Amino acid sequence: AIAIWPAPPVIPPGGWPAHITDKPQSDFRSYQFSVLPNGMQVLNIHDPKSLKVAFAMAVRAGSYDNPVELPGLAHFCEH
């Protein structure tokens, strides 16, 4: 899991990524934070020592958000 600092950085006008510099001095990774036009918050972490690329996503939705006519939709979208 990725922990985001208590308050996301302020996004510059135009919505381009904001570089996050508030981190431990021993952390060699670079961080960018942005908000997409649909409101989704994105945290990009660049690790120059990494040999692989990964993607993770967290969605605040679940079975209580299923439409009545589509039970199980949240579980289906999980996979």
Task: Just list the catalytic residues.
Answer: 78
How far CA 72 is from CA of 21, 58, 61, in Å, comes to 41, 18, 12
Q: What is the DSSP letter of 51?
A: S
Q: Contact, 32 vs 20, CB < 8 A?
A: yes
